[in-house]
Amino acid sequence: MVETHEDADVIVVGAGPAGSSAAYWCAQAGLDVLLLEKAEFPRDKICGDGLTPRAVAELVRMGVTIRERDGWIRNEGLRVFGGGHVVQLPWPELSSYPSFGLARSRFSLDQLLAQHARAAGAKLLERTAVTGPVLDERTGRVVGVTARPVDAQGRRSGEEVTYRARVVLAADGVSSRLATAMGRQPRQDRPLGVAVRTYFRSPRHDDAWMESHLELWDGVPGRSNLMPGYGWIFAMGDGTVNVGLGSVSSTSAATKVDYKDLFGRWMANAPREWELTPDNQLAPVRGAALPMGFNRGPLYDGGLMLVGDAGGMVSPFNGEGIAYGLQAGRVAAEAIAQGLARASTAGRERALASYQTRMKDDLGGYYTLGRGFVRLIENPRVMHACTRYGLPRPLLMRFTLKLLSDCYEPQGGDLMDRVIAGLARMAPAA
């Protein structure tokens, strides 16, 4: 019998929020963790940089310092524009989540989380591009990955290496080379979002409210329609603001909207007090896809787990992905720690499979509601009615904020919380 050398208990591919969360929690559980990242920190990611209270709660669980003097800016809630109305919606007061959100550039956030995982005991290898899974010849189980060192531009700079582990986590983003190699293709019936963003200097860089602009017109000559999505302005507290827009389709079919052109037309009519002028723009407009509603699965099978964007964990309601990536990393680590402690193969697999069960139980119904929401607001008339007649109604908007931001008490709470929790439980977790 040939003895197989393992480099770690767990290999995590990708050091974004989901991967670093998984690496941190696995290390905290006493496991040997290898965290592989193809880039070198600090590095940028296309994102709105805003963290909802749900995401903040995950950071608190991890013991991440969130003091403002450490580079964070807190926000009190959303300032929403649409249909000629403006309404300010504070984050709700809940026992499950704090009543504030945060903002921090992904340029520094991802590095902070990766360093946090390393401080807990994970071994971080940067400039390491994973090229594919390693399979057990007898069982077909994923037992490691192949990878090669790359330079700062992503070009190959050394020979391919094989790393082996008892469990592999794919946290390698929307394209997920590992998931694709194992035949786990994105589902065509799941929503797909597209977002573009850039940064501006602004005198309102320390605004306490995240702005959301609900009226995005597609600009089609002769029949311009209101799009399902929103524009945002998030204060970063460092002299700059993150400005972007996102739209969503109920299927993965590509839209024909020129988002950068749409962004330019929106900026021409942006609120003047933010001073979002070409002279103040600091970076080009860049875009990214947002995989939504568990668009890829299974989340666990044969030694490979999918976390974050690799498993399509972006909310169809609002495009939020960081909170769910952090949560997935934590839940995955708990399943792995339990699984690797089992004496039998069958016991190990049952424990590892509990990761998918727990994620679907918690988010499956909510994401199903989100898919229905997207199908509704794809109708321009519905989107117009929502902005024109919904915004002036404070009670309805407080309910909407809780629903869209996933900030409600899962058990107990007020009537709004119980209604949302009930709807999520009744919705099938497909």
Q: Please write the tens of the pLDDT for every residue from 153-194.
A: 888 888 999 999 999 999 999 999 999 999 999 999 999 999
**Pairwise CA distance, residues 115 & 128, whole Å:** 16
> What is the pTM assigned to this prediction?
0.95
Q: Please write the tens of the pLDDT for every residue from 201-211.
A: 999 999 999 99
> For residue 222, what pLDDT band results from cuts at 50, 70 and 90?
low
Work out the average pLDDT over 69-96. 93
- Same domain for 227 and 364, yes or no, is no
Sheet of strand 229-235, all strands in order from the earlier edge strand to the far edge? 85-90, 77-82, 209-213, 229-235, 240-249, 192-201, 286-291
Q: Please write the tens of the pLDDT for every residue from 329-377.
A: 999 999 999 999 999 999 999 999 999 999 999 999 999 999 999 999 8
Does the pLDDT of residue 390 top 80, yes or no? Answer: yes
- Same domain for 64 and 210, yes or no, is no
Look at phi and psi of residue 178 and say left if phi exceeds 0, alpha if psi is from -120 to 50, else beta. Answer: alpha
At residue 377, the pLDDT reads 86
At residue 426, the pLDDT reads 92
> For residue 1, what pLDDT band results from cuts at 50, 70 and 90?
very low
- Same domain for 125 and 15, yes or no, is yes
Structurally, the chain folds into a number of domains equal to 3
Work out the average pLDDT over 265-289. 92
CATH number at residue 162: 3.50.50.60
Segments forming the whole domain that contains residue 259: 192-290
- Same domain for 267 and 318, yes or no, is no
Q: Is residue 78 part of a domain?
A: no
Q: Please write the tens of the pLDDT for every residue from 102-128.
A: 999 999 999 999 999 999 999 999 999
At residue 84, the pLDDT reads 85
Q: Return mean pLDDT, the chain.
A: 92
Q: Is residue 1 part of a domain?
A: no
Of all residues in the chain, the percent with pLDDT exceeding 90 is 80
Work out the average pLDDT over 280-297. 95
Q: Is residue 161 part of a domain?
A: yes
Q: Which of 20-34, 276-290, 374-388, 402-416 has the lowest mean pLDDT?
A: 374-388
Work out the average pLDDT over 313-339. 97
At residue 285, the pLDDT reads 95
**Pairwise CA distance, residues 295 & 191, whole Å:** 8
CB atoms within 10 A of CB 425: 12
Q: Tell me the residue ranges of DSSP E strands in 250-405.
A: 286-291, 300-301, 304-306
- Same domain for 163 and 62, yes or no, is yes
Amino acid identity at 301? D
At residue 218, the pLDDT reads 66
- Same domain for 47 and 150, yes or no, is yes
Does the pLDDT of residue 73 top 50, yes or no? Answer: yes
Does the pLDDT of residue 4 top 90, yes or no? Answer: no
Q: Is residue 77 part of a domain?
A: no
What SS3 state is found at 424? helix
Does the pLDDT of residue 223 top 70, yes or no? Answer: no
Q: Which of 196-205, 231-240, 249-258 has the lowest mean pLDDT?
A: 249-258
- Same domain for 156 and 249, yes or no, is no
Q: Is residue 345 part of a domain?
A: yes
Q: Is residue 250 part of a domain?
A: yes
- Same domain for 109 and 248, yes or no, is no
**Pairwise CA distance, residues 336 & 168, whole Å:** 10
